[in-house]
Amino acid sequence: MKLYAPNYYKDFHCIASACKHSCCVGWEIDIDKDSLSRYQNMTHPYGEIIRKHIEMQDDTACFALTQEERCPFLKENGLCDMILNLGEDSLCQICRDHPRFRNFFSDREEIGIGLCCEEAARLVLFQKEKTEIVLLSDDGEKEELWEEEEALLSLREKLFAILQDDTLPLSERADRMLQEVGAEPITDLHVWIKRLLGLEQLDVAWQKLLNQLNTQERTPRTLDLPLEKFLLYLLYRHLPNAEDESEIRATVRFACLGYLLIKTICEKTNTPIEEAARLFSSEIEYSEENTRTLLELLA
Ligand code: SF4
């Protein structure tokens, strides 16, 4: 099996105590089965502290958040008490992995970092080099891609090339990308904003931002590159999940809707692009229900 990632992936490091929107606040932390059994059988004295914070929700074990919605192990200084006592290997899978996401093909795994993390958003949106998908490791096992997977990956490569052709304005590149997959453009953004306001609400800051989109300013030209990176990120992350042509079209429209929305937010409010992208990611991408609803509406 091969492991691929975007070329910026290896530069990601969690900024822990310097993080303003820590993923250890406000998010449910489910515990995977292997970690749960490790915690249940832990003989280290800290095991008792860990077990005290585990609760069952339906059939899933998770760490009970404090009244302030903080992970019980998050210290006031922003550091993780479990890591301080037992090291990083003691974390459950979701904490070890976040903000990484993975997509699987028959011969490879692809890994990336999600924009809901402010440090990942900075890294993804402000890298200067062209985005490329690079091989990180290969265990030497010979596996073949299915024909459909090969077609999807080569389509994504083509879309990457269209988006990174900086001889054209970004809006034209986005239109070409839609044409390439035969998808309709997003014409009525105000209608989409209304629909977005009707989705599952996770962070009130996102709703506030959408409600502010009523003044007129131009996007500074300097935003073209981070917006291009945002589109590339959405394609890298979501296109592998498209199972047929209609889902491919919906996914490319999803990327264009995200692009138009973030561009409009930056034009009409003073929100920095990395904050707008972070909110989009945590509100839409990290709610399966919201992502599914939008993809259905865009199909
Ligand atoms: S959101 Fe990102 S930078 Fe912040 S604590 Fe989580 S992983 Fe670290």
pTM to 2 decimal places: 0.87
Taking the C-alpha atoms of residue 56 and residue 53, their distance in angstroms, rounded to an integer, is 10
The pLDDT of residue 291 is above 90: yes
The pLDDT of residue 217 is above 70: no
Percent of the chain's residues with pLDDT above 70: 97
Distance 161 CA to ligand 1 centre (A): 31
Show contacts of 286-293: CB within 8 Å, 24+ apart. Answer: 286/114, 286/116, 286/202, 287/199, 287/200, 287/202, 289/199, 289/200, 290/199, 290/200, 291/238, 291/254, 293/199
Distance 77 CA to ligand 1 centre (A): 14
Average pLDDT in the chain: 93
**Tokens standing for 163?**
């988006």
Mean pLDDT value of segment 227-250:
97
Distance 95 CA to ligand 1 centre (A): 10
Question: Would the CB of 174 count as within 6 Å of ligand 1?
Answer: no
Taking the C-alpha atoms of residue 72 and residue 86, their distance in angstroms, rounded to an integer, is 15
Distance 113 CA to ligand 1 centre (A): 11
DSSP string covering 219-232, please?
PPGGGHHHHHHHHH
pLDDT in tens, 132-161: 999 999 998 888 999 999 999 999 999 999
Mutation to probe ligand 1, out of 15, 96, 116 (largest number of atoms < 8 A from CB): 15
**Tokens standing for 74?**
């998050």
Percent of the chain's residues with pLDDT above 90: 85
CB neighbourhood size of 126 (10 A)? 13
pLDDT in tens, 160-200: 999 999 999 999 999 999 999 999 999 989 899 999 999 99
pLDDT of residue 216: 52
pLDDT in tens, 5-31: 999 999 999 998 899 999 999 888 999
